[in-house]
Amino acid sequence: MMARIGTPHRAPYATLHPQAGMSCNPRQSLKVLIGGLTALVIAMGISRFAYTPLLPIMQSDAGLTDELAGYLASINYAGYLLGALWLIWRPPGNQATTPLRQQLLLNIASTLCMGLTSSYPLWSALRFVGGFSSAMIFVLASGVVLQHLALHQRQSWSGWLYSAIGIGIILSAIVVPPLGSLFGWRVSWFSLALLSFLLAYPAYHWLEPHHPPPTAADHAADKPRGRHMLPWLTAAYFCAGFGYIITGTFLVTMLKRMPGLENSSTLAWLIVGLAAAPSSILWMKLGLRFGAVKALIAAYIVQALGITLPVLSASLTGNLLGAACYGGTFMGIVTLSMHCGRTLTPESPHRTIGILTAAFGAGQILGPAIAGLIASRTQSFTPALYVAALVIILGALCLAWGALHDKGQAINH
């Protein structure tokens, strides 16, 4: 029997906390959600994904090769992995506000400093710091927002949180190409840092945990359930990190090198963002309606198709459709995976989100490095895209296998 994480009509796991019936003013929940959303726009949408449209500009103006570009991306994800591991080792408990604010400032500073140097070693250090702070912000902000929404029975709002990454991609697609062509890559980094600083107010001031004191009933409700699914979810999330980041890193560069499609790269990246922004909300609704495991498997399959479409069809239509499939799934996978992980272990959401984020980060380290190496050796990204799609399919198989062996015990909330 396939595990149905996210089905609303079954009760065993519906109570994350006995206080879940309590509710605060929706305005307070909205402020917490907006704080989390702006934090993720800064840390993920801008700090991480602005590198994609900036990459061809930095390659032409600063001499970055495909191999070095891949390594630079992997260094960023190594920092991301370390940030996630740090929070597994030292979870913040209810004291997430101070480290979250510190990492926001550090993240914005790393974006700013990218425009101050053309030294590859310094770029590497800055991207490492940016990755570390991005993971810290992602885990801390996700934990605070998801815990708040679960406590006040507003879990359906969580899809809005992860729309932040799509919003950040849209901003990078709008800001980077004109600034890069007119003023170069340095001004682009400076402008992105300024944009992040302007967005930081809600994240800095509104994103605070609101946890009631635990009760004995809390601990009874928080006993582990459905834990057989967690290792398979983690393995699948590793595959997602490996597969999606290859397209996420090299999409603009690939299109700029395809005859007749050189001018479509900005449009394709914009479509990724436009598809990503609402996708987390859509996939969350599908997960609640049909079960999150089924929704996740569907998202993995559609993403694998989106990754291979540019190879199967070198036309503009094929590439833009591939961008839509890719953008429309990768944040859905994040949203559903975070929801599943948090609901599997309501007693320690930061730790579980940290574990999943670390697995994702490990995949991200390997993906760009291997893709950049393959592209340098073969002078083509085609083999790398096939590898990415195969790993994504492997992730879907991990989910299916875990669901079959979980015997229907996974979360039903």
Predicted pLDDT at 42:
95
Predicted pLDDT at 80:
87
Tell me if the domain spanning 24-208+226-405 has CATH number 3.40.190.10. Answer: no
The span from the CA of 302 to the CA of 87, in Å, is 32
- Alpha helices, DSSP H only, in 184-228? 185-206, 216-221
Low-confidence ranges of the chain (pLDDT < 70): 1-24, 93-94, 209-227, 407-413
For 298-340, the pLDDT digits (tens) are 999 999 999 998 888 878 888 899 999 999 998 899 989 988 8
Predicted pLDDT at 64:
84
Contact 371, 265 (CB under 8 A): no
State pTM to two decimals: 0.77
Predicted pLDDT at 93:
65
Report the C-alpha dihedral over residues 400, 406, 409, 413, rounded to 10 degrees.
-30
Contact 74, 371 (CB under 8 A): no
Predicted pLDDT at 23:
57
Predicted pLDDT at 104:
96
User: Cα 350 vs. chain centroid, distance in angstroms?
Assistant: 16
DSSP assignment of 157-188: GHHHHHHHHHHHHHHHHHHHHHHHHHH-HHHH
Q: Where are the domains of the chain?
A: 24-208+226-405
